[in-house]
Amino acid sequence: MATLAIVMKKNQPHILLINPYIYDFAAYDLWSKPLGLLYIAAVLEENGFRVSLIDALDRHDTEMLAWQGRASAKSRMYGDGYFYREIVEKPTVFSHIPRHYARYGFTPELMRKKISDLNLEQSVDSVLVTSGMTYWYKGVHEIIAMCKELVPQAEVILGGIYATLFTNYAMEFSGADRVFTGESEKTVLAYLCSQSGLEVKKNYKGYDDYPYPAYHLYSKLEYVAMMTSRGCPYSCTFCATHAFTEKFTPRSPEGALHEIINYANQGIQNITFYDDALFVNSDKHIKRILRGVIENEKNVNFHTPNGLFARLIDAELAKLLVQSGFKTIRLSYETKNPERQKVLRKVSDKDLESALEYLEQAGFLRHDIVVYLIMGLPDQSPDEVQAGIDYIHSLGAKVSLSSFSPIPGTADWEMARQKYNFPVNEPLLTNKSVYPLRHPGFTSEDFDGLKNYAIEKNRSYPKDNPTLDENHVSDYNVYA
């Protein structure tokens, strides 16, 4: 079975790890893997635990495919694709939104079967449930309730993004026995060892000490996700990266390169970088990694769903991106407003123009490059967003409108709370589809109109890159 995977030895404590299904207006498998959970799984295995994984977003799970009457999942050229979905009733707070609300991933019935089957094979001692976006908590809470019913002897532990950003809410309403926040590999390991009587076998001093994420728990992989660094040296007013990682910490270039080679040697061609700051200190980091990929003649495709820092792209880096196999380039631009650019201190118009020039000279087509633009920031006007769309289009690139959503612990969260009376006690309202900071000067109609305007602009380009869709590139989140 593709998602239900087991590593077992006699008398090992049995830990079940779960990546829940999603409730939302839209969701797409843009090289999505629960990377933090897979790191925890690998660390637990290395320290003597039996680990089982249920990833409810695994499109290749054989039981889920059989239920759909499919022999295999339908994917695009580089492994991304659409999740299975079922339309469900919208929560009351979304009743005004004229869109279908759906569950993405496994059905609840299949989840119950998988949990029960695993518990029958060997009694589950603890369940670790991860959580993605804060407004996905409905699926998280349902999975926790299932576990409490089906494996009542097991302690249920919650971690991940929702648990970190809405900790008090999660502790009160999730039903979990314990909540971990932030990076949790070492803290979860120490806790489970203390509960099981096992000893911590390895002292993990740095990220290169961790084993590779436990991708062997999947029977089919069209792609993997990895990180060459954690954290970010910038402090954007809308970003919550600091809530998960206090400081920017790169891995050694050699360690990251060895991980890439390991995947390539397994025949995995699509590798996605989840770094928040992939190009920082590029001479000492990403350039060395990419030279190693080229020297080892590894045939891989690299993808970057997170926005890359345009200001850090030079001619040499652009050439290395082409030569090493980058297929998906997404640049952070955020705003056309020069005052906002000064506050963010990340990218200017000149930086974006130079980056596109370098990338084009290296061999990329401009219309294959996506530029992220934020829509709905505090005090932002529709005219500011439209000016950004027009500007990006004038440079020959595609635009992806990233709807702003206030995040707890950020400067913009405080502004949203104080100036816009943003309700802070309901995580569902951080959903981008609600347009959280809409007001008389920036209405829902303005948001929808700008989104459609960006789509029409994107449609004017040739459709020759299989990772780009003018409809769905304008429907992603600003989150972290």
DSSP string of 183-252, one letter each residue: --HHHHHHHHHHHH-PPP-----SGGGSPPP-GGG-S--SEEEE-SEES-S---TT--GGGT-SS-EEPP
| Res. 473: pLDDT tops 50 | no
> What's the CA gap between 389 and 373, in Å, rounded?
8
H or E segment at 79? none
Rounded average pLDDT over 351-372: 97
> What's the CA gap between 39 and 184, in Å, rounded?
9
H or E segment at 268? none
Same domain, 269 and 165: no
Q: Which tens digits make up the pLDDT trace of 93-131?
A: 999 899 999 999 999 999 999 999 999 999 999 999 999
Exposed (0-12), middle (13-18) or buried (19+): which is 90, by Cβ within 10 Å?
Answer: middle
Helix/strand/coil for 85: strand
Question: What is the Cα gyration radius of the chain?
Answer: 22
Helix/strand/coil for 144: helix
| Res. 207: pLDDT tops 70 | yes
Helix/strand/coil for 399: strand
Is 410 in contact with 435 (CB distance < 8 Å)?
A: no
On whether residue 443 sits in a domain, the answer given is yes
Q: Among 296-305, 398-407, 460-469, name the one with the lowest average pLDDT.
A: 460-469
> What's the CA gap between 480 and 477, in Å, rounded?
9
Selected residue with higher pLDDT from 472 and 250: 250
> What's the CA gap between 277 and 280, in Å, rounded?
6
Domain span at residue 135 reads 5-196
| Res. 162: pLDDT tops 60 | yes
Q: Rounded to the nearest 10 degrees, what angle do helices 185-196 and 35-46 cross at?
A: 40
On whether residue 119 sits in a domain, the answer given is yes
Same domain, 229 and 177: no
Using a pLDDT cut of 90, give the percent of the chain over it: 80
On whether residue 202 sits in a domain, the answer given is no
Quote the pLDDT of residue 254. Answer: 98
- Looking up tokens 């409108």 gives 401
Same domain, 186 and 249: no
> What's the CA gap between 264 and 325, in Å, rounded?
12
State how many domains the chain has: 2
Same domain, 327 and 440: yes
> How sure is the predictor about 464, in pLDDT bands with cuts at 50, 70 and 90?
low
| Res. 472: pLDDT tops 50 | no
Quote the pLDDT of residue 477. Answer: 37
- We report the CATH number of the domain holding residue 83 as 3.40.50.280
Same domain, 149 and 228: no
Q: Which tens digits make up the pLDDT trace of 301-328?
A: 999 999 999 999 999 999 999 999 999 9
Is 28 in contact with 66 (CB distance < 8 Å)?
A: no
Is 461 in contact with 358 (CB distance < 8 Å)?
A: no
> What's the CA gap between 157 and 350, in Å, rounded?
47
> How sure is the predictor about 290, in pLDDT bands with cuts at 50, 70 and 90?
very high
Note the maximum CA span of the chain: 65
Quote the pLDDT of residue 461. Answer: 86
Quote the pLDDT of residue 34. Answer: 98
Quote the pLDDT of residue 56. Answer: 99
Contacts of the segment 411-419: beta carbons below 8 A, 24+ positions apart: 411/237, 411/238, 412/237, 412/238, 412/377, 412/378, 415/237, 415/378, 416/378, 419/378
Same domain, 191 and 229: no
| Res. 476: pLDDT tops 60 | no
**Pairing verdict, β 369-375 and 50-55:** unpaired
On whether residue 111 sits in a domain, the answer given is yes
Q: Among 27-36, 87-96, 234-243, name the one with the lowest average pLDDT.
A: 234-243
Q: Taking the CA of residue 79 as centre, how many other CA atoms within 13 Å lie in the half-sphere pointing to its CB? A: 22
Same domain, 242 and 192: no
Q: How remote is the C-alpha of 111 from its chain's centroid?
A: 22
Same domain, 189 and 257: no
Total Cβ atoms within 10 A of residue 209: 12
Q: Which of 196, 214, 233 is the last residue of a domain?
A: 196
On whether residue 211 sits in a domain, the answer given is no
Same domain, 188 and 261: no
Triad 299, 330, 294: Cα angle to 5°: 25
Q: Give the residue from 367, 381, 335 showing the smallest Cα distance to 465.
A: 367
Is 434 in contact with 95 (CB distance < 8 Å)?
A: no
Same domain, 236 and 151: no
Mean pLDDT (the chain) is 92
Quote the pLDDT of residue 124. Answer: 97
Rounded average pLDDT over 272-290: 98
Q: Which tens digits make up the pLDDT trace of 55-75?
A: 999 999 999 999 999 999 999
Selected residue with higher pLDDT from 467 and 459: 459
- We report the CATH number of the domain holding residue 304 as 3.80.30.20
Q: Which residues contact 149 (CB under 8 A, 6 or more apart)?
A: none
- 413's tokens: 């969260």
264: left (phi over 0), alpha (psi -120 to 50) or beta: alpha
Q: Which tens digits make up the pLDDT trace of 364-393?
A: 999 999 999 999 988 899 999 999 999 999
Q: How remote is the C-alpha of 312 from its chain's centroid?
A: 22
Quote the pLDDT of residue 235. Answer: 83
Quote the pLDDT of residue 466. Answer: 57
Total Cβ atoms within 10 A of residue 329: 25
Rounded average pLDDT over 164-185: 97
> How sure is the predictor about 2, in pLDDT bands with cuts at 50, 70 and 90?
very low
| Res. 4: pLDDT tops 50 | no
H or E segment at 127? strand 126-129
> What's the CA gap between 23 and 198, in Å, rounded?
37
Same domain, 163 and 234: no
Query: Phi/psi at 59 (nearest 5 deg)?
Result: -70, -15
Same domain, 301 and 431: yes
> How sure is the predictor about 437, in pLDDT bands with cuts at 50, 70 and 90?
confident
| Res. 347: pLDDT tops 70 | yes
